[in-house]
Structures are given as C-alpha cells and as structure tokens.
Amino acid sequence: MQSSELETNKIRNDFPILTRKINGKPFVYLDNASTTQKPLSVINKIVNYYSFYNSNIHRAVYDIAEEATHAYELTRQKVCKFINANSPQEIIFTRNATEAINLVSYSWGRKNIQKGDLIILSEQEHHSNIVPWQILAKEKNAKIKYLKIDKTGNLNLNELEAYLNSNNNNIKLISLCHMSNALGNIIPIDKIINMAHAYGIPVFVDGAQSVPHLTTDVNSLDCEFLAFSAHKMLGPTGVGILYGKKNILEEMDPFICGGDMIKEVHKEKTLFNDLPYKFEAGTPNIADVIGFSSALDYLNEIGMDNIRNHEIELTKYALEKMSELKQIKVYGDVNLQNRGGIISFNLGDIHPHDLATILNEDCIAIRSGHHCAQVLMEKLEVSATSRVSFYIYNTKEEINIFINALGKAIKLFQL
C-alpha cells in the first residue's frame, strides 16, 4: 500500500471516531503519541470475543475456552513475528509499557543491581523509564547517571563512551527510549547497544513511541529487553508487551504471583510455570489482547515503511508551515530522518494549556504539559510545551486546519 492522500482517505473510513463533528466542526486528532484511534476491525474483534466465545483461558477444555486460548496465543505469535523475536516465550503480556519496565526493574533489577552500581538513563526519558529505576537505586544504594542531550535533543555518544571506559565495572544497565515521546527524537539505539555489549552491559529499550512507527527487529538490535504498548499502535488500552531474551527471563523471579503463573503449589513450596506464563499471573486482559491481533494485521497490511514515509511527509509539511509563524519555537532535531511524527513547540508566551483550550474550540486535539518528561522540560528551561503527533490517518488538510487555528491564537493574544 502506498502512502498517499487517496490511501489515507480510505484508511480514515475505517475509524468511526474520525467521522465525528463537534459544534459542526470536523474532529482533528493530533495526539497520537498519547494514544491512537482504533479501526473497526479492532473494535469488532473485541465485540466478537465477548459476544461468541467469552471464556477464561489456559484452564478449561470446553470448546469456547479452547477458542479463546487459541485467539489469545495467536496474538502472542503475531507480536513475536512483528518484532522478529526468536520465540513466543519471549513475549510477556502486561497492562502497559510502564508495567513492563516495572517488571524488569523488580524481577531483574533486584537480583542484578547492587550497592554502588550504575544505571544509565538520558535526560529525555519518560517518567516511566526514570521512576522505577530511581526506586531500585534507592533501595539498593545504587546510582543513576543521565546522558545529556544537546539543544536539538540528541545524545552525545562520546559521553556514553567515556562512562563506559571509566565505569564499565559498575554500569549494570542502560535503559533508553528509542524515540522521545516529547521531542520525537530517534536515538541511534543500535550503536548504543553495540557499545554497551562491548562491555557486557545489557540494554533495555523503551519502544513505546518507536515500535508503532518504525520497523523493529529485536534480533538485529540484540537488545536484552524491549517494552511497548498496544494502544499506541491502533490496539486497545490495557495491553503492554515486554520482550526479553529467553535465557534472561528464565533467570528472573515472578513479578506478580497467583493463578496461572504456577505449576504446583504445596504448603511448603511452589513450582513456577514455564515462560511466558511465569510473568502472567491471574486472569489477563483477554479481550483486548485478542483485539490487538487485528491491530497488528492492520499495520502489517499497510506496511511499517509506508507508515514511516507518511509520517515524514506530514512532519515535513507541518514544520514548513509552522516555520512561517515567527512567534513559534519548535524543539527537537530538524533532520527528519532523526525524528518521528512528533512536534513539540511553544507559541509566544501563550501557556500550552491555554493554547490547547483555544484549539479545542476548533475541535483540534493536541497535547499540552510536561508530557511525563519533567527532566527534559528542566533541560529545555520550560515548564511545558504543546505537542502535535501524527499517525496513519492524519492528512495535510488537518495540518492546514491546525495552522489556521494557530494564526487565530496569535491574533487573539496579539503576539
């Protein structure tokens, strides 16, 4: 499928919410970095499960239970193929990417991080990739080092090399976002993994923003862990994915204990289940995992390269239009190959929350605030930014509507 306006308009027909009009105005959704909209195929998949084969999984032998189990496990197989993992056993379903990070922090971190050890993060991480490590570091009396970003939001790999050369005996983990949720910057994660592995250091990749937009191959990357969420890639909320190398997952203790993560329970001891079920205690989010299957089918049909090209085209167009407004300040790398379909900006001295409110009057949905990246905001010396983010159903016409609304705000505030 080619990335074109004609195809985009066809795609839009699959998303019921995009037909909405509020106060007579078309709904322009530009907050895809937060969550994406859902196509009918995903919605219908969930409804079909609840309507015709609603059952718990892995536990019963009657027909609809086996049907539900098969559908649930089929999604796991599709996720495995989507990121080119070696085995479905390496795919753990969680509630979200945040839980996936916490799982590793708890189950891997408490076994492997000791007093005086270092964990390497960066200044542009989402809070979900900071706070769990802070808690672990405090508990273990370890330390966190932050890789600095420059004015364009890019990492200085020379600084990382210096850390590795001087502290490699103490560095026990590097955990970085592949794409910044606030700036859209894409970091050279493949180079970083190679650098880390030269010193035997594992790497956790926060792929919440990158996996929905870029072809992801964990075999090629060779990362130890990867986390992402279904809801940012056309799937339902409540489904996160943790990929981990099988040999590492096998050495980790369970994160949550209860039903389905056990083989045997006796008064004095418990035998844990095999992978991946050791990390999936209790009744999971069956319906939404099954719904995610259709989201993966949808993305595969379009093609990840086409998705990437479409977003580059939209981002280039939006940046060109925004550059015509002298009152605007855009953050992040201007090189389109180094950024995703995310643009953070400020318009004069208008507070981002006020701008978002004004744009909402024209039925334009954007994000405003610190984007769960307050360390980054401190680096940028701002309290908040406005953010627009694109996906497969966005169009240049919608960007024009957005730019016109910015013009109205400029006049309203007499900038």
Residues forming the active site? 372
Contact 159, 190 (CB under 8 A): no
Token digits for 84? Answer: 């080119």
- Tell me the chain's radius of gyration from C-alpha atoms: 22
Q: Cα separation of 215 and 70, whole Å?
A: 26
DSSP label of 302: H
Token digits for 410? Answer: 């400029």
Q: Which residue has the tokens 């208008």?
A: 350
Q: Which residue has the tokens 């609809």?
A: 64
Contact 173, 136 (CB under 8 A): no
Residue 110 burial class via C-beta count within 10 angstroms: exposed 0-12, middle 13-18, buried 19 and up = middle
**Residue type at 350?**
I
Cβ atoms within 10 Å, residue 322? 19
Residue 399 burial class via C-beta count within 10 angstroms: exposed 0-12, middle 13-18, buried 19 and up = buried
Mention every residue, 6+ apart, whose C-beta is less than 8 A from residue 413. Answer: 348, 349, 350
Helix %, strand %, coil % of the chain (to 5): 45, 20, 35
Mention every residue, 6+ apart, whose C-beta is less than 8 A from residue 102. Answer: 132, 255
Q: Cα separation of 347 and 105, whole Å?
A: 38
Mention every residue, 6+ apart, whose C-beta is less than 8 A from residue 314. Answer: 341, 390, 394, 395, 396, 399
Q: Cα separation of 183 and 167, whole Å?
A: 29
Question: Measured on CA atoms in the order 319, 323, 328, 330, is the torsion positive or negative?
Answer: positive
Strands in 328-331's sheet, in edge-to-edge order, are 328-331, 342-347, 385-389, 367-369
E-only strand ranges, 296-341:
328-331
